[in-house]
Each structure stands twice: as structure tokens, then as C-alpha cells.
């Protein structure tokens, strides 16, 4: 299979791949047609984001392609077949896979390797699962083991405030970034090659709340634990009316149960209710807002969990879902504030440090990079772990933009 066939098998265009890489389209066309050899560095990058081995892209002849395995597109791209996804979705995943690859490369450069403590955690969670049981039961048991090993929910308190740092401390790549004009809510895939692969979780934070993203993060983590061999999982935003009919696969039910049970198990929900002298069957709007604030879980999911556990009935669930709690919630936690409201609270001067300094420029589809990632790249330059040229590649910007955005950084190689 030729380089061109690999790309076309993903549902992407030659132009889209060139734009994501920041390569001249004509040059990229020559690579795909075999008129020019792909530089090894680009072959490694392309292989990583397309999900194939680099030797397949470097194969110059039919015999070379056969010897390279004659492989087709990676499994994740088959999930984009059909009318549910658009070019923007496919191109976004291509960018996400590039960002995941970059984050992995950055850590290897800084640490001389990668943190792999997640492997022990995942193995312990999988070990106690009865795969013949119902997917919901698998998810509950996985959540119980995971929570015990990570001490999530210890003391009857929610783990939403600590989950991001906790996952990253175990070597799990976690990226939250806005993607526009896409129904993709989150995805999970592995980056790296062979035995050096590691999980990468992506969450779309465009027009979504921090409370919703907590659930999406844990949902994608559930996929990472159990569905590594599937080539990656993609989750889209669903209408409330179709939610229950769409989430019917074993992997989806297991991942969603895992997320709910990890974030709001009975050992978290009941103590939170008792601590605030609240009863599930008689919550006021203020009390529901307090429950959302203390657990870090969105209103809809809290109501779903209480309904599933028989703590409330359908009539009461509809009543709680109709509560307008957002105004109350903003007085309880900054997590409920919009970006503009948060900037007004901390001051424009404090926010200016990162304003308009995180957009990529070398790809046609711009991406807003997460603050922790940008800070890590700049720290690596200061620590002399990477050059400014390499920093530009990781940030997906040109040297002029780097100099303009970060004048305090030395540009000398």
C-alpha cells in the first residue's frame, strides 16, 4: 500500500495532511506520488499521527510496501466512516494526534524517558474484572479498584479538583483544547511506538463546562484502560433525547459507568449530602448547586446518578433538571465562570500573560494549545532540554512568532 493509499484510507485529503504538518501542498503531493523521498523526521511524525509504521511511508516500491506490511489505515480512522463526521472532525483528530505525539516527545526530551506508572494502575484495574459480567458491573468494579488505588473519593469528598494532576502524575497525557465546528466531545488513543506507547486523553473544551469535562475525562480514561486495542475511541456530544439509544455498546456503557462511579460513588454522594444536611428527595436549587460545586459534577449527571440508584423518581428528576442553578453556582465556585467573567475577576493584566499566545500558526486549522503544555515547552527551553527551533516545532509556530510572543526567551541555538 502506497503512502497516498494510507492517507486516502483515513478519509483525509492530501491537502489536509499537508496543512496539519505545515508543509507546502505541492511538496507534500510529490511525497505522496513518490516523486520525492519523505525526510525521515517527517516520516516519523506522519506515521505517529496517521497511526502506521514509518517504514510504510518510506517504502519506495511495491516490494517495499509489501515488506513493510502492506498495512492500511489505523483502526481509529474507520470510526470516522459515515455521515456523522465531517472533514473538520477528521482534521481535528489529526491535529490532536500530532499534539499528543509532541507532548510525548517533549516529556522524553526533558525526562530522558516517560513516566509509566499508569501501566501498573491499568493492569491492577483490569485484573479484577469479570469480562462475562454486564458492562455496567464491569465499570463499577473498575471504578472501585481504581478509586482504592488512587485514593479518589477518600474521606467522602469528590476528586474533580485533583483528577487532572493525578492522571498526569502517572504519565497519562491529558489535553483540553477547544475545537470548533465539531461534535467531538473527547477521544482516547495511544501515542508512541510498540512497548513505549502511552495513553493520551483529549477533551474538547469549546462551549463546555468544567463540570461536564470532568465526566468526559474519566469516560475517556475508561476507554484507555479497556480499549487500547481498538485503535482509539471517539465520543460525540449527543442530544438528550437520543443519549440512551446511542450509548449501547459494551465499551460505551462500561466507560460511562466507570466515569460516574469514580466521580460520584455512593461513598462520595451520601457523605456530601449528609455533610450539608441535604436529602436527595427534597433538594432546593441552592442545595443542588452546592452538590454540583462540591462534587464537580454537572447537574444532568448528578440527577441521572440519583435516578439510577433509586434515590429519586422520574418526576423529581425532571424537577431537578428544570432548576436554574447556574447563577447560584457562580457564587460558589470560579469553575462556573465564563472565560470573560474569570478574566474580569482576576484582572486583565494577570490574564494577559497567555492572551493570544497559544494559537498554532503553521497549520491551516488553528489550535489553541493548553497553558500547561506551553509552559512545559518554555520551561524545557530555559532548562536547555530543547532548542528554540524544537520549541517552535512543538508549539507549531514559526521562529518569528516565537520571538514576538516570548521576547524574554533566548533565540540563540
Instruction: Please check the confidence at residue 342 and state whether its pLDDT lies above 80.
Output: no
Q: How far, in Å, CA of 299 to CA of 308, rounded?
A: 14
pLDDT classification of 299: cutoffs 50, 70, 90: very high
Instruction: Please check the confidence at residue 316 and state whether its pLDDT lies above 60.
Output: yes
pLDDT classification of 370: cutoffs 50, 70, 90: confident
Q: Which whole number is the average pLDDT over 279-294? A: 96
For residue 165 the three cell numbers come to: 494532576
Q: Which whole number is the average pLDDT over 389-402? A: 91
What are the Cα distances from residue 277, in Å, to 263, 271, 348? Answer: 21, 10, 39
Strand 173-177 with 198-204, pairing: parallel
Q: Which whole number is the average pLDDT over 130-151? A: 93
Question: Which has more pLDDT, 343 or 45?
Answer: 45
Q: Which whole number is the average pLDDT over 152-164? A: 87
Q: What is the mean pLDDT of the chain?
A: 84
Q: Which whole number is the average pLDDT over 186-194? A: 84
Instruction: Please check the confidence at residue 83 and state whether its pLDDT lies above 80.
Output: no
pLDDT classification of 11: cutoffs 50, 70, 90: confident
pLDDT classification of 137: cutoffs 50, 70, 90: very high
Q: How far, in Å, CA of 44 to CA of 46, rounded?
A: 6
Question: Which has more pLDDT, 109 or 302?
Answer: 302
- Looking at 74-83, 193-202, 333-342, which range is the least confident one? 74-83
Q: What's the number of CA atoms in the CB half-sphere (13 Å) around residue 178?
A: 13
Q: How far, in Å, CA of 94 to CA of 97, rounded?
A: 5
pLDDT classification of 132: cutoffs 50, 70, 90: very high
Backbone dihedral region of 359: left (phi > 0), alpha (psi from -120 to 50 degrees) or beta? beta
Domain parsing of the chain, residue ranges: 3-73, 81-263, 265-336, 351-413
Which of 295, 291, 317 has its CA nearest to residue 304?
317
168 close to 87: Cβ distance less than 8 angstroms: no
45 close to 74: Cβ distance less than 8 angstroms: no
Torsion on CA atoms 323, 326, 330, 336, rounded to nearest 10: 130
Which of 196, 52, 230 has its CA nearest to residue 112?
196
User: What pLDDT score does 34 carry?
Assistant: 81
Instruction: Please check the confidence at residue 68 and state whether its pLDDT lies above 60.
Output: no
Q: How far, in Å, CA of 101 to CA of 402, rounded?
A: 20
Q: How far, in Å, CA of 354 to CA of 376, rounded?
A: 13
Please check whether the domain covering 3-73 is classified as CATH 2.30.30. Answer: no
54 close to 47: Cβ distance less than 8 angstroms: yes
Q: Tens of pLDDT along 221-268?
A: 999 999 876 566 777 776 543 444 444 688 899 999 999 999 999 999
Q: How far, in Å, CA of 199 to CA of 100, rounded?
A: 9
pLDDT classification of 82: cutoffs 50, 70, 90: low
Question: Which has more pLDDT, 16 or 284?
Answer: 284
pLDDT classification of 44: cutoffs 50, 70, 90: confident
Q: How far, in Å, CA of 254 to CA of 230, rounded?
A: 15
pLDDT classification of 59: cutoffs 50, 70, 90: low
pLDDT classification of 38: cutoffs 50, 70, 90: confident
Consecutive H or E run containing 203: strand 198-204
For cell 482504592, what's the residue? Answer: 148
Of the chain, the percentage scoring pLDDT greater than 90 comes to 42
User: What pLDDT score does 77 carry?
Assistant: 67
Q: Which whole number is the average pLDDT over 116-137? A: 93
User: What pLDDT score does 193 carry?
Assistant: 75
Q: Which whole number is the average pLDDT over 153-178? A: 89
Q: Which whole number is the average pLDDT over 123-129? A: 92
Q: Which whole number is the average pLDDT over 20-26? A: 83
Amino acid at each position: 500500500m502506497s503512502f497516498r493509499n494510507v492517507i486516502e484510507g483515513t478519509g483525509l485529503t492530501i491537502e489536509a495532511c499537508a496543512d496539519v504538518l505545515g508543509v507546502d501542498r505541492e511538496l507534500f503531493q510529490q511525497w505522496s506520488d513518490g516523486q520525492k523521498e519523505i525526510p525521515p523526521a517527517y516520516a516519523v511524525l506522519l506515521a505517529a499521527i496517521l497511526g502506521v509504521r514509518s517504514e510504510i511511508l518510506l517504502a519506495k516500491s511495491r516490494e517495499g510496501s509489501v515488506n513493510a506490511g502492506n498495512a492500511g489505515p489505523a483502526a481509529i480512522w474507520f470510526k470516522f466512516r459515515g455521515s456523522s463526521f465531517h472533514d473538520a472532525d477528521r482534521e481535528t483528530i489529526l491535529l490532536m494526534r500530532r499534539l499528543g505525539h509532541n507532548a510525548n516527545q517533549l516529556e522524553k526530551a526533558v525526562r530522558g524517558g516517560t513516566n509509566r506508572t499508569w501501566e501498573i494502575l491499568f493492569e491492577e484495574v483490569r485484573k479484577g474484572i469479570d469480562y462475562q459480567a454486564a458492562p455496567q458491573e464491569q465499570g463499577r468494579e473498575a471504578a472501585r479498584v481504581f478509586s482504592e488505588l488512587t485514593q479518589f473519593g477518600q474521606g467522602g469528598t469528590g476528586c474533580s479538583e485533583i483528577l487532572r494532576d493525578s492522571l498526569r502524575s502517572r504519565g497519562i497525557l491529558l489535553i483540553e483544547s477547544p475545537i470548533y465546528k465539531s461534535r467531538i466531545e473527547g477521544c482516547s488513543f495511544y501515542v508512541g511506538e510498540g512497548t513505549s506507547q502511552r495513553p493520551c486523553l483529549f477533551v474538547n473544551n469549546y462551549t463546555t463546562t468544567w463540570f461536564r469535562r470532568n465526566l468526559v475525562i474519566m469516560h475517556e480514561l475508561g476507554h484507555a484502560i479497556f480499549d487500547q486495542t481498538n485503535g482509539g475511541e471517539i465520543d460525540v456530544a449527543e442530544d438528550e433525547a437520543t443519549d440512551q439509544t446511542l450509548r449501547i455498546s459494551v465499551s460505551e456503557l462500561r466507560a460511562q459507568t466507570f466515569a460516574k462511579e469514580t466521580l460520584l460513588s455512593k461513598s462520595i454522594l451520601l457523605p456530601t449530602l449528609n455533610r450539608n444536611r441535604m436529602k436527595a428527595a427534597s433538594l432546593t436549587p441552592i442545595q443542588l448547586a452546592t452538590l454540583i460545586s462540591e462534587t464537580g459534577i454537572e447537574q444532568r449527571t448528578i440527577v441521572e446518578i440519583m435516578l439510577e440508584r433509586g434515590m429519586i423518581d422520574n418526576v423529581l428528576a425532571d424537577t431537578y433538571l428544570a432548576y436554574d442553578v447556574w447563577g447560584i453556582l457562580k457564587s460558589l465556585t470560579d469553575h462556573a465562570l465564563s472565560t470573560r467573567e474569570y478574566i474580569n475577576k482576576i484582572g486583565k493584566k494577570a490574564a494577559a500573560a497567555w492572551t493570544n499566545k497559544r494559537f498554532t500558526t503553521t497549520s491551516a486549522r488553528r489550535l489553541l494549545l493548553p497553558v500547561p503544555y506551553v509552559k512545559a515547552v518554555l520551561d524545557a527551553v530555559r532548562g536547555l532540554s530543547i532548542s528554540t527551533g524544537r520549541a517552535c516545532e512543538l508549539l507549531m509556530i514559526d521562529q518569528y512568532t516565537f520571538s514576538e510572543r516570548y521576547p524574554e526567551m533566548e533565540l540563540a541555538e
